[in-house]
Amino acid sequence: MNKKDFKKCVEIVRESIHRIDPYSLLDGGSPNDEFDSEISSIVSQLDRIGSGIDAAHTIARVLNSSFSESHKPEEFEIEGNIIFEALVKNGHK
């Protein structure tokens, strides 16, 4: 993936993770880069995502790992679909 494509993928994932805003950290005043580590982790796995549910599983796995939680992929199904559809629309899938 070239640099331009990588930046677009980061932007797509960032928008979704910011909408999810785990623990309302962004609403609580945390900086916009609060989830950059999780976003990078998700982007690094995009080549293995073949559907919205795959994206939801990836989001759950990454957030559970970062925050020692037990979110279910179904909680992120809407954002997973949004991410996958945006990737397809932008020619990344």
Rounded CA separation 61/55 (Å): 10
Q: What is the pLDDT of residue 91?
A: 85
Domains, in order of start, for the chain: 3-89 (1.10.340)
Q: What is the pLDDT of residue 23?
A: 86
Sign for the pseudo-dihedral over CA of 85, 89, 90, 92: positive
- The total of other beta-carbon atoms located within 10 Å of residue 34's CB is 18
Q: What is the pLDDT of residue 2?
A: 86
Rounded CA separation 32/25 (Å): 9
Q: Percent helix, strand and coil across the chain, each rounded to 5?
A: 70, 0, 30
Per-10-residue mean pLDDT for the chain, 93 residues long?
A: 90 97 93 97 96 98 93 97 95 79
Q: What is the pLDDT of residue 22?
A: 84
Q: What is the pLDDT of residue 69?
A: 86
Q: What is the pLDDT of residue 46?
A: 94
Residue entry with tokens 């962004």: 26
Q: What is the pLDDT of residue 79?
A: 97
